[in-house]
Structure 1
């Protein structure tokens, strides 16, 4: 079906100027093609590398499909990815954004971590850059945003940790835990999720034995291990450990002695640990013992199965939810950017792009562009964050990570598989 906002043609020439964010190329047929540069900020070698590499691979698939879509619709646009490894480090992320912006890039997918979003928000707002993160989940206030207006250039296609904290708290209750020790990553994301989780745990009548923060750059876990061991000594099966952090949980588990009492208790993780390849590679046997029940936003459509199949055929394995989120984000962003250029005669307008992304998220969810969402209906709240969503519960088994249940955000109930 033709794109409904239409191309503007006068004398056979498409009115689309060339902004710094665009390169104009000539196709084999001799027609002009405007290249829209898209920055992709992902962790390819740090604490979220499992998910970052998935996002890179799925965006490469999306890039091909979007360019084919533009060609079939007769739209003189082409998207081009510029991938940068941020290592989920806020300072490195800022450097990468500044470098790509110097190349004229004004639209980004990512970054992945809330600490990164917090660190770049000043640069984003000052330079009117628009971003869509597939996985930053800290509540807006934890990122330093005071009003929705301050966050108008920052979109997130994932619910905030107010939802995930409830999910983790309910998982602990369903598992019969009465006491927990919470180990959490000391940064904007970790602080926010820990706060939301502890609030729900207390509401569920679960006793918090201790809350133990750790430095994101930690290497030696022995002090954390010793403290946790001392706190859990003499406790029964109704006591567990909640870990709020990234894939460094694999290093933590690998440093725990094989005969440690810590391995006799249930552990609960989060979206920073769910489906981690590093856990399976470095600490699978210990993870099997503690189960490491981990929550992650869960919303897939039938269309997702097609993308997942293509992902597997290319040898990439199984895409996680955040990879599916960024796939939808790429589509919405690309369509909105092209529409913005069409409306402005080729000029970049951050406020218009922000407005179009909000509008086109709804239209994309409803299939109005002839493309189906892979993560279902995307409803954004006043903060431009996804407004709701269920959470899958994954656990480590002898066969690897398995989906063992789904937490329903509307009822608070868990459907165990």
Structure 2
């Protein structure tokens, strides 16, 4: 785990936390949900097909669990409204994500739980213009840290993640990092951030290739990567060279191409949050490559351990038989944050809810932990778990 306040990597179990007295939390009650005259719909726009489907389905499931828990709670306090989660597939395609938002908005939906930085970029103007409160569970691109807009982001931005990535690389003794990455806000931001940190960490960053994430094959980009890695090995030695690969499920194809190059199999590979927990990287050939290059060690925002965390984790494990990624916990909390903000505002008017949302988030502790936001509407701080693919 990377401890942000100490700028160091430590091992061991993550300790459980308790919120201070007076904080809002999820409330788990056994009350039978009852109907209400008003139903507030929440559009959950997640990739259920395509390159992030294995993670999008977990966030959708967590939001649906939150709907059940929230409505039991609202019934128990005789609140005048209930929530309804409406799930739609974006396929991690920004254009499709915007189309889904527009379609749901046409039926009156004012609240959205969305995913990637690319999708946020596509939806942001429409959300701002129409006062649609939009919460991203996983967007981290620093370019989207914009104060005063209608987008709130529950993970910290990548200026914090690159500190974790660069510290992991520094501790590994690497002197040269060769980068291959998605050509989008998220990937470009990570590479720039890593370059900014590299001198202080004692290594150089060599740009190999960015790629169009909609492509189906990456042989040209991997060929360039192999050539530059070979050059770096000649200068530093294989044990002092690493690859960073910032991508989503398309990394499966990149791994399967890279395994044909001896130089790419001889160095460590590191990643970022966008690929942690992806089932696509666990297919045998891709997983074997990842294990051979050190496990493809990657950091990801760390949810706080608590009974609320365990509720979401056990629900996902029971239904999907795999560990939820960090951002599923954000999806669960997003439903609760919208609910508590409606209660505080005394209205389901999205502008009224938007005004109180930061105050509610600053006083909430949920499945992901503390959700205090900074001036740009992004999570203020967080530690990072360190994930790796290992042979079972």
Superposition TM-score tier, normalisation by shorter sequence: 0.7 to 0.9
Give the match for residue 50 of structure 1. 54
**Does the CA-based 8 Å contact 1:62-1:331 persist in structure 2?**
yes
Asked if residue 87 in structure 1 is aligned to residue 80 in structure 2, the reply is no
Moved more, 251-260 or 286-295: 251-260
Cα distance in 2 for partners of 1:208, 1:321 equals 28
Give the match for residue 330 of structure 1. 335
Moved more, 128-137 or 301-310: 301-310
Q: CA deviation at 1:165?
A: 1.1
Give the match for residue 378 of structure 2. 385
Q: Which digits, 9 at most, give the CA deviation of each residue in 1:23-67, with x for residues without a partner?
A: xxxx998x7431110000101112222221110111111111111
Cα distance in 1 for partners of 2:217, 2:305 equals 42
Cα 1:69/1:240, change in 2 over 3 Å: same
Larger Rg: 1
Cα distance in 1 for partners of 2:121, 2:305 equals 31
**Does the CA-based 8 Å contact 1:241-1:267 persist in structure 2?**
yes
Cα distance in 2 for partners of 1:331, 1:155 equals 14
Asked if residue 281 in structure 1 is aligned to residue 278 in structure 2, the reply is no
Asked if residue 155 in structure 1 is aligned to residue 152 in structure 2, the reply is yes
Residue number among 105, 108, 114 corresponding to 2:109 in the alignment:
105
Aligned ranges for residues 189-268 of structure 1 at < 5 Å? Answer: 189-233=186-230, 235=233, 236-258=238-260, 260-268=262-270
Q: What root-mean-square deviation, in Å, do the aligned CA atoms of Structure 1 and Structure 2 show?
A: 2.0
Task: Please give the secondary structure, in 2, of the residue aligned with 1:246.
Answer: coil
**Does the CA-based 8 Å contact 1:239-1:266 persist in structure 2?**
yes
Give the match for residue 354 of structure 2. 354
Task: Please give the secondary structure, in 1, of the residue aligned with 2:181.
Answer: strand
Structure 2: which 5+ residue stretches go unaligned?
1-23, 25-31
**Does the CA-based 8 Å contact 1:186-1:216 persist in structure 2?**
yes
Cα 1:148/1:259, change in 2 over 3 Å: closer
Cα distance in 2 for partners of 1:58, 1:86 equals 17
Give the match for residue 300 of structure 1. 304
Task: Please give the secondary structure, in 2, of the residue aligned with 1:109.
Answer: strand
Cα distance in 1 for partners of 2:131, 2:177 equals 44
Cα distance in 1 for partners of 2:375, 2:267 equals 41
Residue number among 185, 188, 199 corresponding to 1:188 in the alignment:
185
**Does the CA-based 8 Å contact 2:272-2:299 persist in structure 1?**
yes
Cα distance in 2 for partners of 1:258, 1:184 equals 19
Moved more, 255-264 or 53-62: 255-264
State the aligned residue count: 354
Asked if residue 126 in structure 1 is aligned to residue 159 in structure 2, the reply is no
Asked if residue 138 in structure 1 is aligned to residue 141 in structure 2, the reply is yes
Q: CA deviation at 1:361?
A: 1.5
Cα 1:34/1:349, change in 2 over 3 Å: closer
Give the match for residue 319 of structure 2. 314
Q: Which digits, 9 at most, give the CA deviation of each residue in 1:226-255, with x for residues without a partner?
A: 111111226121101001111211111112
Cα distance in 2 for partners of 1:318, 1:257 equals 27
Q: Which digits, 9 at most, give the CA deviation of each residue in 1:195-248, with x for residues without a partner?
A: 112211232121223342111112221111211111122612110100111121
Q: CA deviation at 1:73?
A: 1.3
**Does the CA-based 8 Å contact 1:77-1:338 persist in structure 2?**
no
Cα distance in 2 for partners of 1:66, 1:312 equals 21
Moved more, 194-203 or 86-95: 194-203
Q: CA deviation at 1:84?
A: 0.9
Cα distance in 2 for partners of 1:277, 1:363 equals 34
Residue number among 37, 41, 51 corresponding to 1:37 in the alignment:
41
**Does the CA-based 8 Å contact 2:363-2:372 persist in structure 1?**
no
Q: Which digits, 9 at most, give the CA deviation of each residue in 1:246-275, with x for residues without a partner?
A: 121111111234463201110000001112
Cα 1:211/1:165, change in 2 over 3 Å: farther
Higher relative contact order (CA 8 A, sep 6+): 2
Cα 1:108/1:321, change in 2 over 3 Å: same
Task: Please give the secondary structure, in 1, of the residue aligned with 2:128.
Answer: helix
